Structure 1
């Protein structure tokens, strides 16, 4: 600063939002989505539950705002071009299986606008750059990544949320064998 003007003080609402999100992250991690309550989160944040509702609308909106998910996508530029689909499917299958928060976000996203936006941002911010790095059509990367997401999110919805028996029964190898060629085509083949 130039010495004439003091540094701006954080707004009270910013501090309240931060307290809510910190409490929500801890509560969701400790209790899981289903058992965590707005009342408990508000108590942890030292505020009235109505403030949580004011900022986030409902539990689903709060959850969507609170979760941070890193898909930890591998550097696909180091993968043989013909193995991109297999690598992506195998990696994302492992992420789904080890991260129940991702399934919770998918569940919330299916019924809540804030959850849907959170899921969109996760895939937009992480999947689009990964696809752009390996496709011969960088301008088409958003559409290609959206198609990859449709394949993987559709699979995840039927396996982890809706629990279709036939999808749940597929082995890891079978899932990769079925999905990898489609994902490969979406990422590397010329657009029709």
Structure 2
């Protein structure tokens, strides 16, 4: 695989990224080719490789969690459970789009390890400095798994009862579960 050419964000690079951001969630990693992306962007397929180094690198750059966790982790840890759940349930499509694209591509070579890295960087590492106790890392990992489970139930399984539930009820109840991991009661 060739190395991408570092550069400022050119119109061609933006067009390729936009095409990939549209195609990967719609047709999946396996169902999207470099030619598809190039065609959607109106460029030669060689430019996709030149700018991004290959399909995998473009996929990972396109769907990486560019989610700003600052509003969640900058608040008090005592109310972070509800804040985190409210954040992932935001009616915007970014969290859903990225989650589903990564999940659908998780069996492609190289994507599984990138998923683990994204989970660690996106959920575990931001929590670690905020949690106390010898089991802080385990609780941070469990918190990430708990949030992932909710997203799976909503967007993969399509649990109709959960989807029909008022989001604030989910925020309150699921946020309380998450909060127990973040700030457990003293023994």
TM-score, structure 1 length as denominator? 0.68
Whole-angstrom CA distance in 2 between matches of 1:60 and 1:154: 26
CA RMSD of aligned residues (A): 3.7
> 5+ residue gaps in structure 2?
8-12
Q: Please identify the structure whose Cα radius of gyration is greater.
A: 1
Q: CA deviation at 1:183?
A: 0.8
- Displaced runs of 4 or more, over 4 A: 21-24, 59-62
Whole-angstrom CA distance in 2 between matches of 1:174 and 1:114: 38
> 5+ residue gaps in structure 1?
1-11
Higher relative contact order (CA 8 A, sep 6+): 2
1:89 and 1:178, CA in 2 relative to 1: closer, same or farther beyond 3 A? Answer: same
Match of 2:155 among 149, 156, 160: 160
1:2-81 to structure 2, matched below 5 A, reads 13-15=2-4, 25-31=17-23, 33-35=25-27, 36-41=32-37, 44=43, 46-47=45-46, 63-64=59-60, 66-73=62-69, 74=71, 76-79=73-76, 81=77
The range that moved more, 99-108 or 164-173, is 99-108
